[in-house]
Amino acid sequence: MRYSVTPLASLPLNGLASTVPHSPTMAGAAVACAHSDPIDLTVGEPSAAPPWEVREAAAKAALEDRARYGPAAGLPALRGLVAQDLSRRDGIPRHSEQVLITPGGKAALLDGLRCLLDPGDEVLVCSPYWPSFPDQVRWAGGVPILVPHGEDLLPSVAALDQALTPRTRAILLNQPANPTGTLWDDARLAGLGALSRRRDFWILVDQVYGTLTFDGPEQPFLRHLPHLAARTLLVESFSKRFAMTGYRLGAAVGPAALIQAMTRLASSSVTHACTLSQHAGIAALSLDGTWEREQLEELCAKRDLAFEGLHTLPGLRVQRPQGGLYLFPNASRWMRHHGVETDHDLVLRLRDEAGVKLLPGSAFGASGHFRISLGAPHGALATAIRRLGRFFSKGGAHV
Ligand code: PLP
């Protein structure tokens, strides 16, 4: 008997796989460039190497053959350290059962969404947003509802309230935020607390940049709203905090029942986070804090350098980031004056004429902006800011 077989290429993928795009923040760096010596400020990755102890711990675990299968929820020692570290930071007592070790913060968030959403459930995502937020909601079968921002690049409580519907299952926030560097102020947090008294929804807080807070102590979400702990899932990561991007190590921290469900999901999907990376994570959380303090000082200096270099340029509006790894200038006035229609066109010109690779604001739901990563080394960033200064000053007196 003969079968007719459809050529593989024409068999359809499902609706999600055919429509959800590649992460734009991951794709940006690969693009070719007309400038002979471009500086890449697209990637949200600290240029420093991870602490020596971290690298040593991973290497030692490999050499000693301690990279076997382990528990789906992560190595008990690491879960304990994450619980302890976070409790020290936000003042909420917690134990290991509330912690799942994941292959990065991204996985923690996606698996949280997969355990919380039924098909068609809505999740409020505040604009400007990290592009993976709406995409992850879609991958988990939900519907991202984009909440508009005000002048300060944050949503008002009224806008959040307006976006709530009977299908709202969760609100997703990012403290400090990628790409804006904003932190929710006390009034907004209190407003969210008030909304949560009226309506049942989960709160997903991505605090992968939490320890990178510039002008004062870290502002962990539950320190402000401890009574929301039972409905909050926190996403933590070693990527930005310890420059361990490629180790793919993060954690989900939340109510034990949710963590158990996420652990069951991990046991059928990734099995667990890489064991070598988990040993490295134990070393990272056993450090005395000096490395982190020095890195934060360096990052703060880079924030100042970039902000000072850009905020007086004609046609740009730049908000001083309170934390995180980025600046997010608004160039709409400059674009209007110079006949540049889209921020995509703008970043192409910045790439080819100024030699600085950046990501367009529209990738983050805020057209007319561009994102600068502060991850580059100080010298490269200084050169890039000088180049941007020259570019935007051309004819700028009229703007
Ligand atoms: N969350 C936000 C807001 C990010 O910007 C990023 C990376 O850029 C991540 C999560 C991903 O972190 P990880 O490397 O731990 O997956």
CA atoms lying within 13 Å on the CB side of residue 315: 24
- Three-class secondary structure assignment of 80-148: HHHHHHHHHHHCCCCCHHHEEEECCHHHHHHHHHHHHCCCCCEEEEECCCCCHHHHHHHHCCCEEEEEC
Topology of 8-49+290-393 in CATH? Answer: Aspartate Aminotransferase, domain 1 (3.90.1150)
pLDDT in tens, 261-317: 999 999 999 999 999 999 999 999 999 999 999 999 999 999 999 999 999 999 999
Mutate to test the pocket of ligand 1, among 178, 236, 248 (most ligand atoms within 8 A of CB): 178
**Sequence spans of domains, the chain:** 8-49+290-393, 65-285
Residues having CB within 6 Å of any atom of ligand 1: 44, 104-106, 130, 174, 178, 206, 208, 237, 239, 245, 250
Q: What average pLDDT does range 353-366 have in this prediction? A: 96
Q: How far is the CA of 36 from the centre of ligand 1 (A)?
A: 30
Per-residue pLDDT band for 37 (boundaries 50, 70, 90) equals confident
- Write down the pLDDT at residue 355: 96
pLDDT at 81 over 80: yes
pLDDT at 194 over 70: yes
Percent of the chain with pLDDT over 90: 89
3-state SS class at 209? coil
pLDDT in tens, 125-138: 999 999 999 999 99
Task: Round to whole Å and give the CA distance between 235 and 106.
Answer: 8
- Mean pLDDT value across the chain: 94
- Top-confidence residue, 153 or 1: 153
Q: Are strands 202-206 and 356-357 parallel, antiparallel or unpaired?
A: unpaired
Q: How far is the CA of 134 from the centre of ligand 1 (A)?
A: 13
Sequential DSSP letters for 145-173: EEEP--TTSS--HHHHHHH--TTEEEEEE
Sheet holding 99-102, edge to edge: 99-102, 250-253, 232-237, 202-206, 168-174, 122-126, 143-147
Mutate to test the pocket of ligand 1, among 25, 43, 113, 132 (most ligand atoms within 8 A of CB): 132
pLDDT in tens, 158-192: 999 999 999 999 999 999 999 999 999 999 999 99
Buried b (16+ CB within 10 A) or exposed e, 155-193: bbbebbbebbeeebbbbbbbbbbbbbbbbbeeebbebbe
Q: How far is the CA of 19 from the centre of ligand 1 (A)?
A: 22
Within a 10 A sphere around the Cβ of 254, how many other Cβ atoms? 27
| Closest C-alpha to ligand 1, atom 7 | 44
84 token code pair: 């302890």
Per-residue pLDDT band for 217 (boundaries 50, 70, 90) equals very high
What class has domain 65-285? alpha beta
Per-residue pLDDT band for 83 (boundaries 50, 70, 90) equals very high
378 token code pair: 């100080």
Closest CA to 274 of 63, 70, 23: 70
87 token code pair: 């409790």
Q: What average pLDDT does range 238-254 have in this prediction? A: 98
Q: How far is CA 106 from CA 18, 110, 243, 271, 338, in A?
A: 21, 6, 15, 16, 38
pLDDT at 4 over 70: no
- Write down the pLDDT at residue 398: 44
- Write down the pLDDT at residue 9: 65
Per-residue pLDDT band for 17 (boundaries 50, 70, 90) equals confident
- The answer to whether 250 and 357 are in contact (CB under 8 A) is no
**19-28, 103-112, 272-281: lowest mean pLDDT where?**
19-28
